[in-house]
Structure formats: structure tokens, C-alpha cells
A = this chain, B = another copy of it.
Amino acid sequence: MRAVDLIRKKRDAAELSREEIEFLISGTTHDRIPDYQIAAFLMAVVWRGMTRAELAALTEAMLHSGSVLDWSALPAAKVDKHSTGGVGDKTSLVIAPIVAAAGLYVPMISGRGLGHTGGTLDKLESIPGFNVNLRLDEFRRVLETCRCALIGQTPEIAPADKKLYALRDVTATVESPYLITGSIMSKKMAEGIDALVLDVKTGDGAFMKKQEDAEHLAELMVETGTRMGKKVVALITDMEQPLGRKVGNALEVEECVEILNGNGPGDLRGLCLELSAWMFLLGGSVKSVAEGRELAGEMIASGRARDTFREVIRLQGGDVRIVDDPGRLPRARHTARVDAPRAGCVTAIHCEKVGVASMLLGGGREKKEDSVDPSVGLVLEKKIGDPVKAGENLCTVHYNLDSRLVHAMRLLSESFEIGDHAPPAAPLVRKIIGAGEMA
């Protein structure tokens, strides 16, 4: 088999066999195929796409390029949630404790933020002492003890993805829904889970701006996971404005604690309950989504989810006192406010701009190599539909350095649109894909 022939086949829109895809991925992992051939292949995939069979073969080949975790000794289902990324998207920190508190296992391997979107690892690391870089044996110990564990990518998991992602990043081949599916699903399947709930974001603050693109990606991921024998469902959710009110790493942890305390913004709480409910349903804890929502609500109301959050922080070396005293989280030295230019009603919040503003303040990464400042970010004082008076504060900015403040403030001013009438309320969950008769 020669790589050039397989590139030609894909270029000419023919279907590659499972063996051919395995040849390419194994050759990638073990450096038997040069980068330039892989790069040409990736661009051909961006062009031609993949059939469902090719995509399942790609995902399995990537999955088996490394270790697949085995939790078969654990006495309950292993479930996880994955989000395609957004602004203020902090549900993992709430959901993992809720679901674990109710008896399922959540072996969650997450990523870092890039560009306008945040990442779970950065949020967790704003908790003083929290260690996301556990070895697999430590990961196992935490998971066995408190039924959830929250870590970053390890070298053992899907090394083919690491190699491919690095190439995609420099060859403008990141955006292919097929390559995204292979990347996400191979890593998630390597967690050794039984079921996966996908939160596929759409709207201005998401990677998939158009709902049809989000639905296409969701369908690919659901079908790929299902072909691999897992229970998978995808929720297409709204990212036209930031989720919750807080954007920025420590600020988002603070908001998660609010939710676990039974408080916090309704949209964030609602989505956390919804995602948890689906995890319960797929994991076999409940018989309906409604029952799942109820169970998730109980985990919050009883304080059991908050206890589990404390426990996982403790087991991963973090300062548990932040749960009862969020003032112990890093906090920026200065605040500034964005004044409403007129009275009326917030009709839109340009979500990507809000994300970029947070990044400019130091809360996110422009390039992968950048470090983040855990303390900075912003608090939306008004969200879509809220009435405002002229001069009222729309958004509180938490910052340390002046250097890019002006730029960030300008973006935030531009983000808020104020009109005369509140727009009709948009549902947070726009569509559910892959539920079949379960819903």
C-alpha cells in the first residue's frame, strides 16, 4: 500500500477501506508516512469529506493508536459529556459532581481554551493547587474514590490525534467536521466510557456559527459513537450569548459554586440539569429525561453534588475552601464598567466578541503557547431581554493590566445591542440528535 495512492483515492472522492485508513493512521502515529503526505490527505478530506464507514474507521484507528482505559471493574456505568466549546461554557465543573454524586462514574479528560473559547482545564487550574496533570494511575484512584476525575490529555490517549491536530493547526484543515469528529470521538472513546452526551454549541460564540453545521457535526459524532457500540446523544445548544453571567477562569468557578449551592443564573442551571439528565438516562440511572432532571436537582438541593465537588478538588490537590469561600479564588486587582449608551432592552450580545475581550484581558489564549491569567474576566450585568437605563452598567470588567484594556472595553461596548423591545426568548436547547425513542 502506498500513501500517495490513498491520497489520490480520497482526492477523487472514492471511499477508502478500513485497512487503508488504518494504514494511514498507523503510518502517522509511527512516523512511517511523512507529514507532507498526511497534510495533503487532510486537505483532501476537507474537500471530499468522508463516508460514515470511513469516519468510523478513522475514529477507531485513532482510538487504537493509544491506550483505551478499562473501568470494567467499576460497579456502575461510565458516562461523560463533551462540549464543542463556547463562551462562559462551564457546565463540566457542575455536571461531573452532580452525576458522580448520583452513583455514575465520570472519567473526564478535557482540553484548554483557545481563541475566544474557554477550556475546562484552565478553569480548574484557577483553583489554587488543583492538579489536572495526573498520571493514569492517579486518575484511576481519584475516579474510584469520588466517581469523577477531571484531567488533561495524557500521552497514552490517542497519540494519532496529537500528531494530526498539530498538522491540522498549521495546514488550515482544523474545521472539517469529519476530522473534528475523529479527533473528539477517538479521545472520548479512549476514556473507556459507556455513554456520551455531546453539547454541540451553535451561534455567534460557537465554532459552528450556523445551526445546520452544528447539526451535521452532531449527526457525524452520534453515528460514529453508535457504530462503535456506545450510547451517544447530542444536544444542539444556543451560544448566541455567553452561558451564565461570568466569563473568565476563576469567575466561572465561582459561578459553578453558585449553581452547586442552588443559586446562580437560570440558563446555566437549566443546561447543567438537562445535560446531567441525559447522562443519567444513557447511564441507566433513570427511565426518562424528566426523571433525570429531577435527580440532578436533588443532587444540588441535597448538597451532595457540592460535597463531591469538594472531594474531587481535595483528591486532585486543590484548596477545598474555595467552595465555601470563593473569595479565596484569584481575583483581579481592578474593575471597570461598560455603560449603556441609551435606555431600552438588550436585544443581542455578540458572543464571540465577549470571548475575545476576555482573551485580550489575559483570560484566554491567542496562541496555544500563551499562558492565562486565572483572575481576569467579566461579569455580564445584563443579558438578552433585560431592560436597561441609560448609563447603567452592562458588564463589569475584571482586569490586572492596562495594556489591552481599551481594546477589550471597545469590543464589549460593541457587543451589546440595545433596542426598544425585548426579542422573543430563545430556547437554550434547540434540538436533540440521536435520542431515538429515548426522549
Contacts and interface: CB of A to CB of B under 8 A. Distances in A.
Given A11-B46, A34-B35, A35-B35, A40 B173 contact: yes
A171 interface: yes
Interface string A52-76: 0000000000000000000000000
A171 B4 contact: yes
B47 A171 contact: no
A167 interface: yes
A390 interface: no
Contacts of A40: 39-40, 42-43, 171-173
Given A35-B35, A35-B36, A36-B36, A43 B167 contact: no
8 contacts: A4-B169, A4-B171, A34-B170, A36-B171, A39-B43, A43-B43, A43-B44, A44-B172
Interface of A: 3-5, 7-8, 11, 34-40, 42-44, 46-47, 167, 169-173
Interface centre among A5, A43, A169 (most CB of B within 10 A): A43
A314 to B, nearest CB: 43
Nearest to A169: B4
Interface of A is mostly: helix
Given A4-B171, A7-B171, A8-B172, A47 B43 contact: yes
Top-7 shortest CB links A-B: A40-B171, A8-B172, A43-B43, A36-B39, A35-B36, A7-B172, A39-B40
Contacts of A38: 36
A74 to B, nearest CB: 41
Contacts of A43: 7, 11, 39-40, 43-44, 47
Contacts of A46: 11
A8 to B, nearest CB: 4
Interface centre among A36, A38, A170 (most CB of B within 10 A): A36
A171 B37 contact: yes
Interface centre among A167, A169, A172 (most CB of B within 10 A): A172
Contacts of A44: 43, 47, 172
A171 B170 CA distance: 17
Contacts of A39: 35-37, 39-40, 43, 171
